[in-house]
Amino acid sequence: MSMEGAGGWSILGIVARFRGPPRGMLFGNLGRPRLLEFTLPTAQARAATERTKPVIARLNEQRQAHFDATETQLRLKMGGAAAAGLVLGWLFMGSLPIGLALMVGGAFFAFLMLSAKADYTARADAKHAIVEAMAEGILGLTSVPPDQRAAALPQGLVESWRLLPPVRTITVDDWLAGETDDCRIAVFRAGFQFGGSSNVVLKPGDGLVFVIVEIAEADATESVSDDDLTLVLGTDAPLMLRSAPRITHGLTKSQTGDAAFDALYEVFGDAARLTPKVRASFRALEAVTRCDRTGTREVPAGAGLRAAVVLRPGYLVVLTPVAVFDGALEPPPFWQPLAADTLIPAFASDLTILNEHLTAAMTLRGELS
């Protein structure tokens, strides 16, 4: 079902019947809704529904107004672009066929430029509002507005992890934040696209996506010395990730002396922090992995690529690979109304998965203390 304009038909409504859900370079979906993995307990589900249903009703009113405004702009700009193309081709180039071709091309270009921006804004606002209503009850964290997410993972911070190859772009799709008495907590769904050369043409799906849990204690230092760094990543990690600590950042590989652990993980820096209890807590991280080796498909929990871990005094980052275009926390395009009966359970399931990642990271942190 799609929204319609006041006259009973719309450009967006017609196009919606033929065009699949738009998506970004790493996030969104490929037209395959994500399956529900978790159902909230009855009392928690009832509370989430009571908080979220009024939000979705308000969003639907806003989406209809946004739809109507976008439709009006489309008609004006597509009409203007079509007229300009026809005049250019027919009158100035002396060819009616060229004029008609430019007319169609101009209208289509205007549609792509306007509808993509309108859809991105509406989706981001809808996602934030729904997550904001639900995240506190499931994770104990709050959603950070979309316009603030560009500052979530600055280049300098990412480089201080000494984990990734040269990063071209960082896209933070979700950012949940909170504090306890002794630490600051953040959970991200973030994508990284790599390559130091601007001549590299990036395509949709190029790069890696992670659920990132960052835990910083109140007295954590801001040191970026490699002397206090311990880096752990799975031996099943993509080659560019496994080689980056050594080739890009000059770190030295070390061993824990635990043959079973060293077969599953590569360690760079100080391995002394990885006591038997700390090593055992990595099983909690392994239990929430869901990304296959290609980085494109989800697999059952516990069967995916293992997480990477960055340790400094008072500071912990866990990066667990997730599949690109997994459809997590994904509302429909803005020309479709939001259906509370399907969206609330879907978002609850996706947020529960994020809570699993947070719980696993907190388990590791507890053994480091």
**Count of alpha carbons within 13 Å of 55, Cβ hemisphere only?**
18
Residue length, the chain?
369
Question: What's the confidence (pLDDT) of residue 94?
Answer: 55
**Count of alpha carbons within 13 Å of 173, Cβ hemisphere only?**
27
Per-residue pLDDT in tens (0 to 9) along the chain, 369 residues: 555 554 555 655 655 555 555 567 888 887 777 889 999 999 999 999 999 999 999 999 988 887 777 767 666 665 665 556 555 555 555 555 555 555 555 555 555 555 566 677 788 889 999 999 999 999 999 999 998 988 899 999 999 999 999 999 999 999 999 998 789 999 999 999 998 666 667 787 889 999 999 999 987 766 667 788 999 999 999 998 999 999 999 999 999 999 999 999 999 999 999 999 999 999 999 999 999 999 999 999 999 999 999 999 999 999 999 999 999 999 988 778 899 999 999 999 999 999 999 999 999 999 997
Alpha carbons 18 and 31: distance in angstroms, whole number? 12
| Residue of 223, 236, 220 whose CA lies nearest to 186 | 220
Cα dihedral angle (357, 359, 361, 366), rounded to 10 degrees? -170
Token couple for 307: 């997480």
Classify residue 305 as left (phi > 0), alpha (psi -120 to 50) or beta.
beta
Question: What's the confidence (pLDDT) of residue 25?
Answer: 82
* Beta carbons of 171 and 126 less than 8 angstroms apart: no
Alpha carbons 94 and 105: distance in angstroms, whole number? 18
Residue carrying structure tokens 């990690």: 237
Alpha carbons 350 and 32: distance in angstroms, whole number? 15
Question: What's the confidence (pLDDT) of residue 264?
Answer: 97
Alpha carbons 306 and 320: distance in angstroms, whole number? 7
Alpha carbons 293 and 254: distance in angstroms, whole number? 25
Alpha carbons 100 and 87: distance in angstroms, whole number? 9
Contacts of residue 148, Cβ cutoff 8 Å, sequence gap at least 6: 175
